Amino acid sequence: MEKFDIAIIGGGPAGIMAAIAASRTSRVILLEKNPSLGCKLLLTGGGRCNITNGKPIKQLLTFFNNKNFLKHSFYTFTNEDLLSLFDLDFISEEDDRIFPKSGKSSDILKGLNDLLEDVSICYNFEVKSISDDFVINDKLKADKIIIATGGVTYPKTGSGIYNYSLTSQPITDIRYGLSPLVTKKDLSDIAGVTIRDVVISYKKSKVRGDVLFSHVGLTGPGIINISNEISESISYNLLESQPDIDLEIAIDLCPELSRDDLKFKFTNDFQKKGKTRLKNYLKLFLTNSFTDFFLDEINLDGNLELSRVNKKSKNRLVENLKRFTFEITDFNSNLAKVTIGGIDLTHVNPRTMESTLTPGLYFAGEVLNLHGPTGGYNLKIAFSTGYLAGISASEK
Ligand SMILES: Cc1cc2nc3c(=O)[nH]c(=O)nc-3n(C[C@H](O)[C@H](O)[C@H](O)COP(=O)(O)OP(=O)(O)OC[C@H]3O[C@@H](n4cnc5c(N)ncnc54)[C@H](O)[C@@H]3O)c2cc1C
């Protein structure tokens, strides 16, 4: 039987980073069930890899569900530490999202692969169980184990619900995160249209961002981010069942203007521009390709001249510009980007990532009950917790 200091299960960004850090001083084996590492990493950022978010750590931490748990890992392995590993240039885009300048996630994966030269890697190796003394199969044993098996979304990349059952560590409810939403209404007619910088609300939560219409419903950064609030507000656990959803979200299409501002503006403009057709006037507020759909939905004739829009219609216009609603019937779960929930953090030491129940057992990345919004936050979790687990496990 071959014995390693550390066996790492899962070759995504968290497992790879743990292997890079641990192999500096320890004999490490990385076990990956796919024929190659980082299948999900290649898909990130639409193939461009939004590798991290450039906000200062203190501010960055406020975006996560468990910021206190992440603090030590973020200060131990910073963005500067991460980016300096690559022989690549990086660019910072809107909202501090950092990408490789080449625009290729494959460059990030290649850079990481190059740093694994001291790591033994087994591909097509699915770990099915781990014994109490860290025997993985009749040929392989390790002193310590790092679990970096990821979450449940995008199963074709190696994710799956069964990855949580490798240890007896307690697990929280598991839910979809950063997911497009399915609407009751068929939106095929406006599929591909984007409405920019609107405010989406669900109950008391509000998120500002773009909304993109798809054949089955709503997506785009604003929707993806509010989906986390929705997912966390309903009671379900993917370990037991799929969610049962019937709820409403509202979109404020004119967030800069209050209802009173709009009423005042309409009263003035409708007098001054009486001959203008309603659909042409609404170009002031709405994307052209969305206007017809909007007017149809609220039963107003776009060819009506402004002088002929009565008070009741004007009020309906104002109300719907401020609160245009959609009934949501499901998550578009095939396209959910992250998992909400995972290994319960109560039993993991945030200074080492080691289990407080099983000495020598460590966790890193999305398998933990950690998630952030879209914008480089989730890879940040994977790389920082991966690094911390790697150096902690390799300390003799
Ligand atoms: C389409 C898409 C786009 C995304 N874009 C971004 C982005 O731009 N920026 C960002 O920050 N985040 C993004 N994310 C989220 C990000 O990809 C994940 O949070 C991140 O990959 C998690 O890393 P991980 O290493 O913990 O898990 P994973 O990347 O899921 O890796 C886990 C690995 O473990 C392997 N494995 C699982 N079980 C076993 C087993 N039993 N034995 C052996 N191997 C096993 C899997 O095959 C897999 O390779 C995106 C996600 C998706 C789906």
Q: How far is the CA of 288 from the centre of ligand 1 (A)?
A: 38
Does residue 9's CB lie within 6 angstroms of at least one atom of ligand 1?
Answer: yes
Handedness of CA 319, 322, 326, 330 (dihedral sign): negative
Residue in 361, 350, 354 with CA at minimum distance from that of residue 74: 350
Strand partners, 97: 53, 93
Residue count of the chain? 396
Q: What is the pLDDT of residue 10?
A: 98
Q: How far is the CA of 82 from the centre of ligand 1 (A)?
A: 17
Class for domain 259-325, per CATH? mainly alpha
Q: What is the pLDDT of residue 163?
A: 85
**Residue ranges covered by each domain of the chain:** 2-175+339-394, 176-253+329-333, 259-325
Q: How far is the CA of 219 from the centre of ligand 1 (A)?
A: 20
Residues 6+ apart with CB under 8 A from 182: 216, 217, 328, 329, 330, 331, 332
Mutate to test the pocket of ligand 1, among 83, 149, 153, 374 (most ligand atoms within 8 A of CB): 149
Does residue 373's CB lie within 6 angstroms of at least one atom of ligand 1?
Answer: no
Handedness of CA 76, 82, 85, 89 (dihedral sign): negative
Q: What is the pLDDT of residue 138?
A: 86
Number of the ligand 1 atom closest to the C-alpha atom of 336: 53
Q: What is the pLDDT of residue 396?
A: 66
Q: How far is the CA of 45 from the centre of ligand 1 (A)?
A: 12
271 CB neighbour count, 10 Å cutoff: 10
Tens-digit pLDDT profile for the chain (396 aa)? 899 999 999 999 999 999 999 999 999 999 999 999 999 999 999 999 999 999 999 999 999 989 999 999 999 999 999 999 999 999 999 999 999 999 999 999 999 999 999 999 999 999 999 998 999 998 999 999 999 999 999 989 998 888 898 999 999 999 999 999 999 999 999 999 999 999 999 999 999 999 999 999 999 999 999 999 999 999 999 999 999 999 999 999 999 999 999 999 999 999 999 999 999 999 999 998 899 999 999 999 999 999 999 999 999 999 999 999 999 999 999 999 999 999 999 999 999 999 999 999 999 999 999 999 999 999 999 999 999 999 999 996
Q: How far is the CA of 379 from the centre of ligand 1 (A)?
A: 8
**Which CATH fold would you assign to the domain 176-253+329-333?**
Elongation Factor Tu (Ef-tu); domain 3 (2.40.30)
**pTM to 2 decimal places:** 0.94
Does residue 372's CB lie within 6 angstroms of at least one atom of ligand 1?
Answer: no
**Which CATH fold would you assign to the domain 2-175+339-394?**
FAD/NAD(P)-binding domain (3.50.50)
Q: How far is the CA of 303 from the centre of ligand 1 (A)?
A: 50
